[in-house]
């Protein structure tokens, strides 16, 4: 057995080939076409709950974008959120991409970009732009009220530094735009004729596409600083950002930093387009759940003989499909099933892990094995869950087994000994 599924191997140009478990290819290629047809540089957000498959989709999308002639930088925000400021981390991605594309051999754009970066780092001190804003007010007030020559000098110095900062940022933005154009030209030259779409010729405008993943998992201050940098420093012609995040969780970062504000309206100033993975209708959702459970069973090498495994998988699909579980939650459920699989009957392997994930209080009562602890609502819920794997009498049979020394309660107590993540 394996405890975790292998991450899909998606090469730089892999796209959706051989990894399109949920049939997202058509949607992904449409999104890539939309990005390539934009004349300006709006910021896009790929929104979805945690564990819904956004990162895998972003990897697949990156391959399609590269085939369409775009330069793509993948930026794991969570991996660098130990930095105080995201500016240099973003610059590093641009520089690495330009170096790999050998932009410097065709133009002096990379050298000019590096020079402009040094100027920004010097002027900002990486954090002084935030620190200077609240200082300006007190200095101005003291200079006006006290007429102090010393304070006037401090204010004059600050204003001169502010002008230098502004100039440095303007220069940086111009050089970033220049590098983006050089990257796009280099990528188009290398990938001529590799567009992925069939049908009429597309008007693709090659650009640098930044895919920023795991933004919602960062420290709140870092996440918001990254958004500010993207909007005010990196938002230039020829550069498109795709933010991969759960907007609901990202909103919590806003509340953490700013308190009682309208987090939705605050975030809306940083992006223009919100994209969500296709969920489809209930039939489509059930198929997605079934496909992923079968995929996990193969990946995790579900134990015992083929008939036993197939019954476990069929029961898991039947119970899990209506529960609206995320892909990551399905992984946790399958791990719990692995704990029980060496010795439990198939229906318990399916029922107990899902009850534990979705109804922890109900699961605790099953482990105690006393029917008198259940409310009528809980009894009906358990019976309904059990009925999904068999006849209408299945649930009553399961409920009748609720005794402290029953097999059902024993395996529930066994599962309680494992904290499965």
Average pLDDT on 105-111 reads 71
| Mean local confidence (pLDDT), 325-345 | 90
Q: What is the mean pLDDT of residues 211-224?
A: 94
The string of pLDDT tens digits covering residues 321-331 is 888 888 989 99
Mean pLDDT of 148-162: 62
| pLDDT for residue 356 | 93
What digits encode the pLDDT tens for the residues 115-139? 888 888 877 765 433 433 333 444 4
Among 46-55, 179-188, 344-353, the least confident range = 179-188
pLDDT in tens, 239-250: 999 999 999 999
Least confident of 120-134, 188-202, 258-272: 188-202
> Is 217 a residue whose pLDDT tops 60?
yes
What is the band of 159 on the pLDDT scale with cuts at 50, 70, 90?
Answer: low
Q: What is the mean pLDDT of residues 99-103?
A: 77
Q: What is the mean pLDDT of the chain?
A: 83
Whether 65 has a pLDDT exceeding 90, the answer reads: yes
> In this model, does residue 228 exceed pLDDT 60?
yes
Question: Cα(152)–Cα(139) distance, rounded to whole angstroms?
Answer: 8
Mean pLDDT of 92-96: 89
In the prediction, which pLDDT does 79 show?
92
The residues pairing with 73 across neighbouring beta strands, listed in sequence order, are 210
The CA dihedral of 272, 277, 281, 287, to the nearest 10 degrees, is: 180
Q: pLDDT tier at 29 (50, 70, 90 boundaries)?
A: very high
């Amino acid at each position: 057995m394996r405890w975790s599924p292998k991450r899909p191997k998606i090469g730089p140009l892999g796209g959706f080939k051989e990894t399109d478990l949920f049939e997202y290819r058509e949607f992904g290629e449409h999104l890539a076409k939309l990005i390539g047809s934009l004349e300006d540089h709006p910021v896009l957000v790929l929104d979805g709950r945690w564990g819904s498959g956004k990162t895998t989709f972003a990897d697949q999308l990156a391959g399609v974008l590269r085939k369409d002639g775009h330069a793509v930088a993948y930026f794991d925000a969570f991996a660098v959120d130990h930095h105080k400021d995201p500016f240099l981390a973003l610059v590093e991605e641009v520089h690495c991409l330009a170096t790999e594309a050998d932009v410097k051999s065709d133009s002096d754009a990379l050298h000019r970009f590096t020079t402009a970066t040094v100027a920004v780092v010097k002027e900002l001190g990486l954090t002084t732009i935030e620190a200077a804003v609240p200082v300006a007010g007190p200095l101005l007030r003291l200079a006006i009220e006290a007429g102090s020559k010393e304070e006037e000098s401090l204010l004059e110095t600050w204003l001169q530094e502010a002008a230098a900062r502004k100039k440095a940022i303007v220069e940086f933005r111009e050089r970033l735009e220049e590098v983006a154009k050089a990257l796009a030209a280099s990528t188009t030259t290398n990938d001529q004729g590799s567009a992925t779409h069939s049908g009429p010729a597309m008007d693709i405008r090659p650009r640098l596409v930044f895919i920023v993943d795991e933004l919602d998992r960062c420290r709140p201050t870092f996440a918001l600083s990254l958004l500010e940098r993207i909007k005010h420093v990196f938002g230039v012609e020829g550069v498109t950002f795709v933010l991969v995040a759960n907007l609901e969780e990202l909103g919590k970062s806003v509340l953490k930093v700013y308190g009682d504000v309208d987090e939705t309206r605050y975030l809306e100033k940083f992006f223009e387009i919100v994209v969500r993975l296709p969920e489809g209708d209930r039939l489509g959702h059930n198929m997605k759940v079934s496909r992923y459970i079968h995929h996990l069973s193969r990946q995790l090498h579900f134990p015992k003989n083929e008939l036993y495994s197939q019954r476990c998988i069929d029961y898991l699909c039947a119970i899990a499909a209506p529960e609206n579980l995320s892909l990551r939650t399905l992984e946790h459920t399958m791990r719990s099933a692995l704990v029980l699989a060496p010795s439990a009957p198939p229906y318990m392997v399916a029922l107990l892990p899902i009850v534990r994930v979705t109804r922890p209080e109900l699961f605790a009562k099953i482990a105690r094995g006393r029917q008198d602890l259940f409310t009528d609502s809980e009894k009906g819920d358990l019976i309904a869950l059990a009925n999904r794997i068999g006849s209408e009498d299945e649930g009553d049979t399961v409920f009748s087994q609720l005794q402290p020394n029953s097999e059902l309660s024993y395996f529930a107590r066994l599962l309680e000994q494992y904290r499965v993540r």
